[in-house]
Structure 1
């Protein structure tokens, strides 16, 4: 078997992914796989986790998190926090170190049942595969609320502890983009649960949006060569309209109204030094001006860059962001 040093490269998205002519894919960035912590994680000592299979065809799985009961939560149902990881749709995982560590911290503080979705990645599975997988995961979560159906497919952590009137969807970066597209779909399509489960709130953390025209202080020089532009073409080369497809550029003529977002509340989080900061602000204001009837909140982390809280959740600003999310979840 040829080593990666001798194989011919077909295409690459540096510094993230390299694809070889034999069809193999090498991911150049991303944190390592870590196992779940069924007996409570070593970081907080208060969160258990396990991996579950949602679907076999296609393969969709998730890591579930359950906080240790406290005197305040022992008899209460907990909010359900559905998380879509970032990584440009082509790296990282629900089972990776960054996601696992971050969710242990958040679940411990926020006291929620979390479902971190393992969706299929590009380039093996180009978009819209990730969107479909995340929608399927949400359907599976909603099925726990129905009194009918196959109980063998239901997980007791969700059935016994989840509050299906408080379902939150959240994502970082590409995951924030998924949140938008799932919420838009939920605005026009019911969850297949038979019990009326709806998304209560959506959290967009440093969301990945882009477009052919620069906004704000974005440079017009080499705009088409920006990483944000190149990633989209790599993960969704057949997208109608390219970089102005409504899934990556949700604002503009002919786009579905953002008033149709299928949630009652939303929170948009940005980081001051993030290249995507102005897109997050632009999205928040576009939703506000659309006539969206729900509650809206905006939170900015000063002096920080893209997804900083995933790389080190112990910094003061990361703790402040997690505290803000925990507050929103309650």
Structure 2
């Protein structure tokens, strides 16, 4: 029986369709592409690795060409990156993500690892949060010279684990924010700290409108921001006002607990999420958080433009800005 004959349980167009038999059609995925021994455009090296067998987590890791060319191994920062896609589509192995990661790695003097966390609705939240935390713990565990697991040579050889960064775009930036809160209350392996994080167009939402968001309750509840969250985390206490989606909701953990010392937040002028993300930044400032916060606001652009229209001048500027943050 083809997908045309099957009964649809939920669809959020143009992103995803879920059938009553449990099968899922991801409509917005870009094609998967292999890693590259040397990307023709940037010269960046990449390969796919297993982070964990149980739970099953893999990743694509990127190495700037100049690190292989050097005679002595100077240690550089590492960025642990979480891709976007509403928690339910896209992949660390897709064309769009790989294109972006190659450009970011080329501009940065850093090793970058993009985590392939498990997707909802087959693996509903909070599974992706736990996968990303497990992946970060695996990365920092390389600081222990005596550990008995299989080390990743690119991390062991080239990375200064006193300079660990996390980052993400859209749902990936939501994942990164929640990882920061967890790192503020739970210890990372070997007592390491996250030096900094960037959140690009983070996917935050809530039941009450902020700024230019739609005011009509029925319209809000039909919006993709709302319906996507209900699909990926149907059991979320508080629904769309769960602190994982609405970090400034009443009763949410204090933003003073963000576990990093530098934070770069990006918004785009045409992005519906813009005003909510600015409210988040104000919440961080007012919380008493002790770190250094910077907001980058790009006028005239929409959500995730730096990945979707990666050849534009503004995309190039933002990618360079993100790269220069990794010091």
Q: How many equivalent residue pairs?
A: 324
1:131–1:182 CA contact under 8 A, matched in 2? yes
Which of residues 225, 239, 243 in structure 2 aligns to 1:242? 239
Which of residues 170, 174, 186 in structure 2 aligns to 1:173? 170
2:212–2:272 CA contact under 8 A, matched in 1? no
1:14 Cα offset (Å): 2.1
1:323–1:156: structure 2 CA closer, same or farther, 3 Å change rule?
Answer: same
Partner of 1:205: 200
Please give the residue correspondences for 1:258-269 in structure 2 after superposition, counting only pairs within 5 Å. 258-269=255-266
RMSD: 1.4
Partner of 1:107: 105
Which of residues 145, 148, 170 in structure 2 aligns to 1:147? 145
> Which is further off, 202-211 or 212-221?
212-221
Provide TM-score, normalisation by structure 2.
Answer: 0.96
In structure 2, distance between residues paired with 1:52 and 1:146: 20
In structure 1, distance between residues paired with 2:318 and 2:310: 9
Please give the residue correspondences for 1:1-330 in structure 2 after superposition, counting only pairs within 5 Å. 2-37=1-36, 39-44=37-42, 46-69=43-66, 75-152=73-150, 154-191=151-188, 193=189, 195-221=190-216, 222-330=219-327
1:171–1:178 CA contact under 8 A, matched in 2? yes
1:172 Cα offset (Å): 0.3
1:7-58 Cα distance to aligned partner (Å, 9 max, x none):
2222222221112222211111110100000x211121x2100001111122
1:84–1:117 CA contact under 8 A, matched in 2? yes
Q: Residue 314 of structure 1: SS of its match in structure 2?
A: coil
In structure 2, distance between residues paired with 1:73 and 1:315: 35
Q: Residue 144 of structure 1: SS of its match in structure 2?
A: helix
1:173 Cα offset (Å): 0.2
For structure 2, list consecutive stretches of 5 or more residues without a partner in the other structure: none
Q: Residue 264 of structure 2: SS of its match in structure 1?
A: strand
1:13–1:234 CA contact under 8 A, matched in 2? no
2:205–2:246 CA contact under 8 A, matched in 1? yes
1:168–1:199 CA contact under 8 A, matched in 2? yes
In structure 2, distance between residues paired with 1:228 and 1:86: 13
In structure 1, distance between residues paired with 2:313 and 2:10: 40
1:322 Cα offset (Å): 1.1
1:245-301 Cα distance to aligned partner (Å, 9 max, x none):
000001032111000000011000010110111111111110011000011111011
1:68 Cα offset (Å): 1.0
> Which is further off, 72-81 or 154-163?
72-81
